[in-house]
A and B are shown apart, each in its own frame.
Chain A
Amino acid sequence: MTDSNKNKYDAIIVGGGHNGLVCAAYLAKAGKKVIVLEANSQVGGGAVTSELCYGKRISYCAHFLNQLNTHVLKELNLAAHGLKFAARDLSTVSLDRDGDHLILTKNSAKGGGITKEEAVAYKNFMMLIHDYAKTLGFLMDSPPIDIFNPDWDDKLAALKLGWKLRVGLGAEKMSELLRMIGMNIRDVLNDEFENNKLKGALSFDAVLGTHTGPYSPGNFLNFLYRYAAGDSGALNIPEGGMGAVSNAIASSATASGAEVRTDARVRTINVENCAVSGVTLENGEIINSSMVISNANTKTTVFDLVGTRHFEADFVLRMTNYRMRGAAAKLHIALHALPDFKGLSKEDLANRLLIAPDQEDVERAFNHVKYGETSPSPMMEISIPSLVDKSLADNGHVLSATVQYAPYALKGGWTEEAKAAFLETCIDRIAEYAPDIREQIEHAEILTPKDLEDRFGMVGGNWHHGELTLDQMLMLRPVPEASRYALPLDGLYICGAGAHPGGGVMGAAGRNAAKAILKGEVK
């Protein structure tokens, strides 16, 4: 047991997920002495590249980079720190059994029985969505407005929001936004479109990563969210997998003077006389600092790392009730060779592939998860990144898919048999579109929501570390008492997805947290 008192840090960041690294980079840039403590042997949290089998590597959790905050990209100079894109602005291909696939870009829809009129309707709809996203998107780039004690920045942001809504959008579109914002995606899509394939694909984007189906209230907002973050939601694939993003951020942070330690699992965040005093590592080492910034899940931070007794009871109850239910599993397949998807060329396959034929199917798949069952006919978002990034597979290919729906708490538990059975279900599902896939499989595995919790600390298997619903967003995230990145314990902050603006590989929460912390010091 060593007590490294002499190594006094301005701040300790618990967890080297991408947000922790972003926060460290900004604090280090501002001249703070910062150390990031990562439990695993590589940084990145949910943005990592791991070996799938010999000679094949894959983005182990997140697999598209569609929401990376543009300020983070520029301000941390990630390109100079090695971030390259293997593919940019990919299309979405919604698979069809008979080969009549629907291909969607930011503003065009073709195939899948889309009529000319419907293609125009899609274009107009997406323009509206992008207008909305532009109106609201700026809210992600700063700490949420403090409605109790607004300072000038808060007042300015509130004015800006009002201006953007009323003047920017105009009365008609503002009224339309207010009508739509609390709606479910099914009703929105039924207002706009006839084509079931189109509605299936768009509804999938609204429920991705959530514990909702197309009929569930409020998930239109989740759909909007995709386009409000990053570069208008453009689908990119980083070279070297998602781990490359984390490595670039870590490199930027280190270059600015931050210290990043891996294999340094924090056992407790220490409290002395009602204030944070540092952390104790799994190996007993104590590191002192009067500021601890947790990039771990907020519930883990409160309940496990600090302990509820160091917080007041109403806050503890609120945190207890903070919803974080995940319903997505992650499928990884190592392939000897590319399977044959009917009607799709190799170039087509490099895009984002969807299995979401109809929004009623999506809803039916969701029904099971409510009762602790897996979907017998699940929905999927598939990526074959080795088509654009040779570094991921020495030979053959790797396929990664987000599968919905799988419950966190499966009836009877996630036994090896249950996992194997669901893996088979998923492979069968892909085989409906690529019948020869089984012959090409070298290795296949599935991460259930429980596995996502165990491996990445995503409590409940929810990759946003807190469901993104209106009551858990902005100044309500994670709970009103902690919306400005400071938990109600002196010296303790959060910088992860559990804070505004939430998850996805954005880095916005880390940047906002650093902003809030630095501003708090100036005050």
Chain B
Amino acid sequence: MTTEIDRDHWRSAVKFSPFYNKLKDHDMVNMWHRWAGYTVPTVLENTTFEYFAIRNTASLFDLTPMSKYRIWGPEALDYMNRLLPRDMTKLRVGRVAYTAWCDDEGMVIDDGTVFRVAEDEYLLCAQERQMEILKRNAIGFDIEFEEISDEIAALSFQGPVSCKILKNMGFKDIETMKMFDLRYFDFPGGEVMISRSGYTGDLGYELWMKNEQAEPMWDAIFDAGKDYNIRPIGGNALEIARIEAGLIAANVDFSPANETVRPGHAKSPFELGLDWIVKLDKGVVFNGRRALLKEKQQGSRFRFVRLDVEGNKTACNAYLFDKENGKNIGYVSSAVWAPSAKKNIALGFVDMPHGKVGDIIWAEIYYKKELKWNRRWAKCTVMDGPAWNPPRKTKTPPDDF
């Protein structure tokens, strides 16, 4: 797919999502930011309201700026199996998988979701742009690939009543979709793809459609869900939800290996707590395999930790220590007050062998009180998994409201 480039494209370097006008209708505070060239809302009305829509009703987040790729051809499976550390022979048609991918040194380039849409066709959805990575991986494979980031409009529809609303819209049997299923549904203008996936650690779906279907879809969702307090949300609310769900973000929790200049600043999947996606024994070569085998034998440098932080001061940018005033052993990469878990939590990295589940470590937290910096030591407990992981995330069929 190629898009005709507008003659005057150089006058502005801002892209507008096909949901832009709809989002604008809900905008009360004019807080926007730039994401992959698009202007997207940071907050539309109030972060707290928006966050609670994710957890208590239903939220709509515009995913269009995500990097999206289509990969197809006779050797698409072999290609994906070499690109990704997961065993791609296990991913059936109609299924989605979360994955990361590495360079030859076993350092993570990015993470995202891969959709097997046909026997020999995949979609890849990533945070950062991946064309160059896909290109170098294609040498010697009978496949084709293209970027479809600007051709596919995408919505993340998350919250406990999201299934009910989709059902009301007439998407038949949507309630039978299991976590990480994907299906195609009829919609005016052509089929749309819906996957049961998300970035909130909750019940939710992602809807993938043509740009021209974006506004009709938006309207249809609002029509079907008018009694369910649907709320469009900005990036701030999603950020709280993803930290609460213990999920990592590129360029926040890890520096993409292909953009990392300083030696030792990239991280391996083991160091990001993604051991479960690395199938060293899958029998075929994948990027980073040799380095990861070595790391497995010799040990990792860091451990990814999810922390329960004492007190009410968020541990943003905090250093981590083995004891109060002790030795610096790591740092916090993301921190937030988790409203549903009702915990002060942080994600971060500590030097091995620190940070086993249940270990106590200390955060030195700097915070501002009426423009004046203060400092506080907070005791942190390494949690066993994310702070928020409700049964409804995976329950099939979801509760009917």
A residues near B (Cβ < 8 Å) are 273-274, 303, 307-317, 320, 481, 488-489
Contacts and interface: CB of A to CB of B under 8 A. Distances in A.
Given A313-B139, A315-B104, 11 more contacts: A274-B285, A308-B139, A311-B285, A312-B287, A313-B82, A313-B133, A314-B103, A316-B140, A317-B139, A488-B290, A489-B285
B326 interface: no
Interface string B100-116: 00011100000000000
- What DSSP secondary structure best describes chain A's contact surface? helix
B78 interface: yes
Contacts of B287: 312-314
Nearest to A316: B139
B136 A314 contact: yes
Closest 9 CB pairs of A and B: A308-B140, A314-B104, A317-B136, A312-B104, A313-B137, A312-B287, A313-B136, A316-B139, A313-B287
B283 A273 contact: yes
Contacts, number: 51
B101 to A, nearest CB: 9
B216 to A, nearest CB: 40
Interface in B13-53: none
Contacts of A488: 104, 290
Contacts of A316: 136, 139-140
Interface in B66-82: 78, 82
B141 interface: yes
B102 to A, nearest CB: 9
Contacts of B398: none
23 contacts: A274-B284, A274-B289, A303-B140, A307-B140, A308-B139, A308-B141, A309-B140, A309-B285, A310-B285, A312-B82, A312-B287, A312-B288, A312-B290, A313-B83, A313-B104, A313-B133, A313-B136, A314-B103, A314-B104, A314-B105, A314-B136, A317-B139, A488-B104
Contacts of B136: 313-314, 316-317
Pick the most buried of B133, B137, B289: most chain A CB atoms within 10 A of its CB: B137
Contacts of A310: 285
A316 B82 CA distance: 12
Contact of B285 (A303, A312, A317, A481): A312
A481 B82 contact: no
Pick the most buried of B82, B104, B289: most chain A CB atoms within 10 A of its CB: B104
Nearest to A489: B285
Nearest to B257: A314
Interface of B: 78, 82-83, 103-105, 133, 136-137, 139-141, 283-290
A322 to B, nearest CB: 13
Pick the most buried of A274, A303, A312, A317: most chain B CB atoms within 10 A of its CB: A312
Contacts of A313: 82-83, 103-104, 133, 136-137, 139, 287
Contacts of A273: 283
Contacts of B285: 274, 309-312, 489
B226 to A, nearest CB: 49
Nearest to B280: A274
Nearest to B258: A314
A159 to B, nearest CB: 25
A312 B104 CA distance: 6
A462 to B, nearest CB: 20
Contacts of B137: 313
B76 to A, nearest CB: 12
Contacts of B78: 309
B17 to A, nearest CB: 31
Given A274-B283, A311-B285, A312-B288, A320 B139 contact: yes
Nearest to A481: B104
B106 to A, nearest CB: 9
B103 to A, nearest CB: 6
Contacts of B141: 308-309
Pick the most buried of A314, A315, A481: most chain B CB atoms within 10 A of its CB: A314
B99 to A, nearest CB: 15
Contacts of B290: 312, 488
Nearest to A274: B285
Contacts of B289: 274, 312
A488 to B, nearest CB: 6
A493 to B, nearest CB: 15
Contacts of B103: 313-314
Contacts of B288: 312
A308 B139 CA distance: 7
A278 B52 CA distance: 61
Pick the most buried of B105, B133, B290: most chain A CB atoms within 10 A of its CB: B290
